[in-house]
Structure 1
Amino acid sequence: MRVAVTGTPGTGKTTATKRVETDLDIVHLNEVIRTEGLHDGTDDDRGSLLADFDAIDEYLAGKTDLLVESHLAHHFDAERVVVLRCDPETLEERLRERGESSASARENAESEALDVILSEAVTAHGENAVYEIETTHQTPEETARAIEAVIAGDREPSAGTVDYTDYL
């Protein structure tokens, strides 16, 4: 089985997946993109790497029993897609505390309010494969347990249960 854990930057993906107890191999995709050179250079405006999706597909090909974590994870094959969600105001604060520019933090908060990653995940994988987890007031351990419930099949799909449109 392959499970993707995705969400807007700052929702808690990396922190939570480091605490997930599972037999699946955990792939922190952003780290792999850097270390394996699976990119096409840098986006100078954002200061981030431009992921090479074909190279990532090749890297993941034939690998099973994976939990793939990244804001890009929903772009790749998965039986279940966990979308972590966070209140846009809290998300914006977290990103600024991590050193993101105000413009970048605001752009990500607006993307969260507009359900950008959720919409992409549902389009790519179908509503019945997507599980939203609201992380704003959860500890990383609580989020990890919720991800474990998705992996175990103990949680129902829940796309469209979080609404942040009032932020806009």
Structure 2
Amino acid sequence: MATSCLSNYRMGIMQFRIAARADVPAILSMLADDEISRSRGFGAAVSEEADAAIWAAFDQIDADPANELIVGDDEGEIVATCQITVTPGLSRGGMKRLTIEAVRVRADRRGSGLGRAMMAYAVQRAREHGAGLVQLTTDKRRTDAKRFYESLGFTASHEGMKLTLGG
């Protein structure tokens, strides 16, 4: 999605915006800075095929108007990220929903209100996209994250399930 279509949100000198290609290494670093992610193999040496897949994924996200890879940019320093996806659906009377995924705040910036501001930005984007519901999942082992999302008004209303496909 073109940055010009995106309304920016500022928290002091912080700006939330669509990620650019140059932001990807900082995003990957934040995604890997976590024991649960490392236990899934994230952050290990990246093969050429995996590296190509990451860049292809970025290009797909960037080209899809229903997806936004968001970064928190503090004067050129990337300190937070999340991905939002708008999904139209037939259930709930055709209501759109916005899914928030891969929420990360750089370790040295946690507890500063940055995560709360980024989530407010994501909810603002949901409204701008005409979504009537915002949803997310979090790993059951992320008890601090669960408390954080509950403090924002999210409720654990559904049981999430996943099926990993080999190949």
TM over 0.5: no
- Flag the structure with higher helix content: 1
Structure possessing the higher relative contact order (Cα contacts under 8 Å, 6 or more residues apart): 1
For the pair shown, the structure with the greater C-alpha radius of gyration is 2
TM-score (norm 1): 0.29
More strand by share: 2
